[in-house]
A = this chain, B = another copy of it.
Amino acid sequence: MGRPAQISRPAVLTAALAVADERGLDALTMQAVAARLGVTAMALYRHVRDKDDLLDGLVEALLTEFPPPDPGLPWRERLAGTARAIRASAARHPAVFPLLLRRPAGTEQARRVRDGVLDALREAGLNDERAARAERLISTAVLGYAASEAAGRFDHHPQDVRDADFAHLLAVIGACVDPEGSRSCRG
């Protein structure tokens, strides 16, 4: 007993993310992750329950990358900053990012990101219920845009068009949340 562990769950997830980033989701096999760690595939099962658990861990790892917005900034910039950080994460991890839209949003990191957005929306003057609804729609729109871009759905548009699209999305969100905004957006 007491044989020292060669690998750990964080090490497994880091290796898995690297494999997915470099070679895509199809190449993300237990054997590929193990090989990168210098270990056999069966050794991973002590640190992740199965491959689905590994994918869940990757989603959680991605969420960790979304930095908490500086609380000193006004709500509008906190919102835009988080959205831009999410899009940047999608660009770094195009293979894994789309999984964010396919997995439940109830994990610790997911709650942390959501609470940051909710705080900003309440500071903008929305009550709890409207803030919760706006958070769901904003998150979905931002995740959807970033996932589309990562998956190559907009590959036929040049980068500057996509940048302008995203800027426009942020502008719409800002306008809809703004206390001075149109009535329909806040209903």
Binding site for B on A (CB under 8 A): 98, 101-106, 133, 136-137, 140-141, 143-145, 147-148, 151-157, 164-165, 168-169, 171-172, 174-176, 178, 181-185, 187
Contacts and interface: CB of A to CB of B under 8 A. Distances in A.
A63 to B, nearest CB: 13
* Identical chains in the assembly: 2
A146 to B, nearest CB: 10
Given A137-B145, A144-B143, A165-B136, A153 B101 contact: yes
20 contacts: A101-B144, A101-B153, A102-B151, A104-B152, A104-B155, A105-B153, A106-B156, A136-B154, A137-B145, A137-B168, A140-B148, A141-B141, A144-B144, A144-B145, A168-B187, A171-B185, A172-B172, A172-B185, A175-B183, A185-B185
